[in-house]
Amino acid sequence: MQPPFETYLARLDAVYCGRTYFAGVKARLLAAFSLLVLVFVPLNIAKLLWTHAPEFPFRLVGNLGFGLAAAAALYWTAKGRLERAGAVLVLVSLVPVHVMALFAPGYVEPLGTAVQIFAFDFVLLLLALVFASRRVALTALLLIATGHIGLYLRALATPPIAGTLGFAAQVLLRDGLIALGFVFCLGAALARMIETAHRRSEEAFRATRATNANLEQLVSARTRELEAATDRANEASRAKGDFLANMSHEIRTPLNGIIASTELLLRRPDLPPEAAEHARLVAESGELLLKLLGDILDFSKIEAGQLTMEHHPFALEPLVTHDVALLASKAVAARVQLETRIAPGLPATFAADSFRLRQVLLNLLSNAVKFTPAGGRVLLTVGSDAPGANPTPVRFEVSDTGIGMDEATQARVFERFTQADSSTTRRYGGTGLGLAISARLVELMGGRLALESAPGRGSRFSFTLPLEPVA
């Protein structure tokens, strides 16, 4: 169960939730002050009884009026009428005190009473400036000034007080009124400054909120546009992929027939040498075109995000030796030495996409053999810095003693349709898609294809894949 004060504050928060932050703070402050008054009044009455204070009936009425004003202020604050609550607290407290001060039959200590009333009026004037309207604050100042002048004329000036007490009475009247005037002007100025700052902050807040709403609408509209553009791009990419797949299939079918027919033609013993050379050129061109179709289809799938990597067990050493064996005849024809080194201690079987790994290795080895002059050397090295780890970081490295590349060529060699220069394309052939595809496949398998090269000193392509060993 919540305490009464917390319940009252929760009610205030509910009443002022739709108003400005400044109004909510003022309501809490006024409520807290009013509650303190309700606690103070019974204690002060008890003190008056204990000390046998003079003019007790008048003091009792003043305290009760102060407490009644505080209770009324709490009521109107809870109703959401903040300025009325401040006006009630100030005026209901001021009027009884000054009326009784003017019409009291006599004073035992008139100067002490005047000082107490001045302190009381000072507090109420501040409350009026903070919580009430300017009209109420000005009314309170006039009541206070009139009451002090009347009290001075009635109790301090007739009969006149002799000595230093008389001088103190004159100072209290003269300087007290001046001080109250200064406090009123300063408080009114501060209240105006606070209200102006608050109004400007509220205007800025509303402008910021409107700007945020506009930005949210703009971002929402742009997001919808981007989503629509993305959908269109994805649809176009899927259409392109489907088109390339269908066209690749349609072209591969007659192309395979041409290649097969050419190979059968080359097997005829009665084929004249010139015709055999022409048939060989047709077969090689068909193989090149078939590889180009495969590269374009793979790259299109990668760009469209439609290429999925498989995960199946495979034996590492047979895969590597098989790839090298496929290029052995090509290396022999080019008089290039092709070697393989597999580090001992590696697990025999791993789980990954062996087809894509083989595709990368074949492309790197094929390039190395192609760009290595006669008498050169191509080496495929497979090893690991942590052969017992799971997954095992397996490093693949293809190095050659070929023509090499300068730094400018290395910076763009993994871009699609890129080779060293036009003379390289004319001399060695190729489309420039192989390394771009290999680099993307290595990334899809969790690695990065790196290159070290220098003109005339060969090249070294390497990548490390986290492969899961299979027992």
Per-residue pLDDT of the chain (471 residues; tens, 9 = 90+): 456 667 777 777 777 777 777 778 888 888 888 888 888 888 988 888 888 777 777 778 888 888 888 888 888 888 888 888 888 888 888 888 777 777 666 666 676 777 777 788 888 888 888 888 888 888 888 888 887 777 777 666 666 665 666 666 666 667 777 877 887 788 777 777 777 777 787 777 778 888 888 888 888 888 888 888 888 877 777 776 677 666 666 676 777 777 777 878 778 888 788 877 777 777 777 776 777 677 677 767 777 666 778 889 999 999 999 888 888 888 998 899 999 999 988 999 999 998 889 889 988 998 899 889 999 999 999 999 888 888 999 999 999 998 888 888 888 888 765 554 444 444 444 556 788 888 888 998 999 999 999 888 899 999 999 999 987
Where is 336: in which H helix or E strand?
Answer: none
Comparing C-alpha atoms, which of 334, 416, 357, 345 is closest to residue 387? 345
Q: How far is CA 47 from CA 44, 59, 420, in A?
A: 5, 11, 103
Q: Which amino acid is at 29?
A: L
pTM of the model: 0.47
Q: What pairs with residue 380 in β-bridges? A: 340, 398
**Is residue 198 within 8 Å of 155, Cβ to Cβ?**
no
Rounded distance, CA 254 to CA 243, Å? 17
For residue 235, the model assigns a pLDDT of 79
**What count of Cα atoms within 13 Å lies in the side-chain half-sphere of residue 350?**
25
For residue 425, the model assigns a pLDDT of 46
For residue 422, the model assigns a pLDDT of 46
Comparing C-alpha atoms, which of 229, 129, 256 is closest to residue 182? 129
Which residue, chain included where needed, has tokens 């220069």? 421
Q: How far is CA 122 from CA 62, 148, 187, 194, in A?
A: 16, 12, 12, 21
Residues whose CB is less than 8 angstroms from the CB of residue 237 and which lie 6 or more positions away in sequence, other chains included? 303, 304, 305
Where is 19: in which H helix or E strand?
Answer: none
For residue 428, the model assigns a pLDDT of 47
**Is residue 380 within 8 Å of 454, Cβ to Cβ?**
no
Comparing C-alpha atoms, which of 78, 76, 75 is closest to residue 16? 78
H-state helical runs in 79-109: 82-103
Comparing C-alpha atoms, which of 136, 9, 131 is closest to residue 73? 131
